[in-house]
C-alpha cells in the first residue's frame, strides 16, 4: 500500500504564527492520512547576534527582498512608494522567539495605494514578516497534535534541521 509524504522545504513554516502553523499542519495531516508523513525543515534558534546579522546582511540581499514589497505595491496596486524613503530593519524578539522584519519610514511622508492615502511619521514602521525559530523541543510541541517526530537531521553547526514526521493514527 502506498504512503503519501508531503515535502515542505526550507523553513517557511516559521513565517506563520504558531496558531497559523498548527492549522497548516492539521491540513497536511488530513491530506496525508493516517499512515502519511511530512518531511519539513525548521530554522533552529540561535543567538540574537547571529540571527540579526543574517537578516541585516552586509550585501543587502534581505533589504532588497523586503523593499521589493513596496515595489510590488507600486506595480500591482498603483501605489506611489518612494523606495529611497524606506529602510529595511530586522531584529530578533527573544521573548517570542522570532525575527521581525520592518520597513522604516526615513521621513514624514504620505503615499497612495489606489485611491487610499496613508501617512507615515519619520521612524514609523511597516511590519512585513515574521520568522519564528524553534528549539527541537518547541518544534515537537508545535507538531504533536497531528504528528510524531520520527527522525531529525541537524546540520553540523546546529542551525537548521530536517525532520521526518508521521501522521498520528
Q: Which CATH number fits domain 1-45+133-169: 3.40.50.11540, 3.40.440.10, 3.30.420.40, 3.40.50.150?
A: 3.40.50.150
pLDDT band at 169 (very low <50, low <70, confident <90, very high): low
**What pLDDT digit, counting tens, does each position of 73-86 carry?**
999 999 999 999 99
pLDDT one-digit tens code per residue, 37-61: 999 999 999 999 999 999 999 999 9
Per-residue confidence (pLDDT) for residue 10, from 0 to 100: 82
Domains of the chain by residue range:
1-45+133-169, 47-131
What is the CB neighbour count within 10 angstroms for residue 71?
13
Q: How far apart are CA 112 and CA 81, in angstroms?
A: 8
Write down the pLDDT at residue 99: 97
Number of H helices, E strands in the chain: 4, 9
Question: Would the pTM of this model clear 0.75, i.e. be above it?
Answer: yes
Amino acid at each position: 500500500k502506498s504512503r503519501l509524504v508531503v515535502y515542505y522545504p526550507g523553513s517557511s513554516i516559521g513565517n506563520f504564527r504558531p496558531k497559523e502553523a498548527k492549522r497548516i499542519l492539521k491540513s497536511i495531516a488530513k491530506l496525508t492520512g493516517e499512515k502519511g508523513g511530512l518531511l519539513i525543515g525548521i530554522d533552529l534558534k540561535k543567538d540574537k547576534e547571529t540571527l540579526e546579522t543574517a537578516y541585516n546582511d552586509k550585501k543587502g540581499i534581505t533589504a532588497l527582498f523586503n523593499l521589493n514589497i513596496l515595489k510590488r505595491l507600486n506595480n500591482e496596486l498603483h501605489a506611489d512608494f518612494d523606495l529611497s524613503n524606506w529602510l529595511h530593519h530586522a531584529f530578533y524578539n527573544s521573548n517570542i522567539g522570532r525575527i521581525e522584519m520592518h520597513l522604516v519610514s526615513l521621513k514624514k511622508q504620505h503615499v497612495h495605494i489606489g485611491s487610499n492615502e496613508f501617512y507615515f511619521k519619520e521612524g514609523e514602521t511597516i511590519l512585513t514578516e515574521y520568522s519564528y525559530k524553534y528549539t527541537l523541543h518547541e518544534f515537537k510541541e508545535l507538531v504533536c497534535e497531528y504528528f510524531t517526530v520520527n527522525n531529525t537531521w541537524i546540520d553540523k553547526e546546529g542551525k537548521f534541521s530536517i525532520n521526518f514526521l508521521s501522521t498520528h493514527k
